[in-house]
Amino acid sequence: MKKATTLDEQIEKYKNRNCELDISEIEIKSILLRIGYYRLGFYSFPFEETYPIIENRTHLYKQGTKFSEIVALQKFDVDLRMVLLKYINHIEICFRTKLVYFISNHYKGNPVWFIDNSVMGKRYIENFDEKIYNQLKNNQNVIKLHHKKYINDKYAPAWKTFEYATFGNVLETYKALQDKLLKEKIAIECGINVPQNRAIFTSYISAVKKIRDVSAHGGVLFDYSLDKALIKGPALEFESDNRSKLYPIILVMQYFLKHISEELAENMKTDIKNVFDTLKYNEKLKNIVENCSGYSYKKQDPIS
């Protein structure tokens, strides 16, 4: 089993692996304590001679690799996470609001439609308490106060319950909804007004949710790849293997935002460009980001 290493030992590893330490060792130690040697490894991997092969890695860096470039890639990733989280929040709230509004008004006499087996799938209802409601009832004051006031209610109404549900909870609710026409209506209201809109919408919103999870938990974004490529649709007309990469998911986010607010969509495009532009004068970093994310510095994919 490997043993923990000191800052001096970590610096020595960078030296022995042909990384040029182009900033002071005092500053490098500060960075290693702030970010972590292991985490920086995610950002130094693309600079290795054997990248992207994982098996039998030598960990030797390509000629001319600078420590500052590894740190710049990590900073880019952090800045990108912050921008994406800001705009994902708008998409998540809009999705939740429309789902609750249209289902609740469709089943107007049933404010707890989410546990009605004529509305939702059997497995969803069976798992609802354990996976969703118990957490809300124990941790959310509004839900606690509801049950204190309405002691005979087993559940708070949908508009209270789902206000505190996670993005994942809301997505699972959409998937478990049995009325296909109602699912189509929600997809259309979110901007997917094309044939097979339920499948396309589920593909799109699931990808946004995955990026939200990675971003919220401090995961690595620049080389993120979906297990299953996004379905070709109104946000992604091109045929390409790149539909599993990060930048197509960003295009999906911009598409959703355009149907929420033109201003939000434009603001996001500007913010995203500003983050990517931080690397545009370093050819090595540009190539890494283009290859990993699907972003093009020469021609960015516009939203029609």
d(CA 273, CA 267): 10
Q: How far apart are CA 36 and CA 140, in angstroms?
A: 34
pLDDT reported for residue 240: 57
Can you tell me the distance from the alpha carbon of 180 to that of 159, in angstroms, rounded to the nearest whole number?
Answer: 21
pLDDT at 303: 45
pLDDT (0 to 100) of residue 169: 97
Mean pLDDT for 231-251 is: 83
pLDDT band at 304 (very low <50, low <70, confident <90, very high): very low
Three-state secondary structure string covering 25-57:
HHHHHHHHHHHCHHHHHHHHHHHECCCCCCCCC
Three-class SS of residue 236? strand
Q: Please determine, for residue 23, whether its predicted confidence score (pLDDT) is greater than 70.
A: yes
- Spatial distance between the Cα atoms of 169 and 13, rounded to a whole number of angstroms: 44
Q: What pTM did the predictor assign?
A: 0.93
Nearest to 286 by CA among 271, 303, 269, 300: 300
Q: In this structure, what are the phi and psi dihedrals at residue 154, rounded to the nearest 5 degrees? A: -80, -30
Asked whether 111 and 182 are in contact (CB, 8 A), the reply is no
| CA 127 and chain centroid, separation | 25
Q: Using N-to-C axis directions, what is the helix angle for 180-189 and 67-106, rounded to 10°?
A: 130
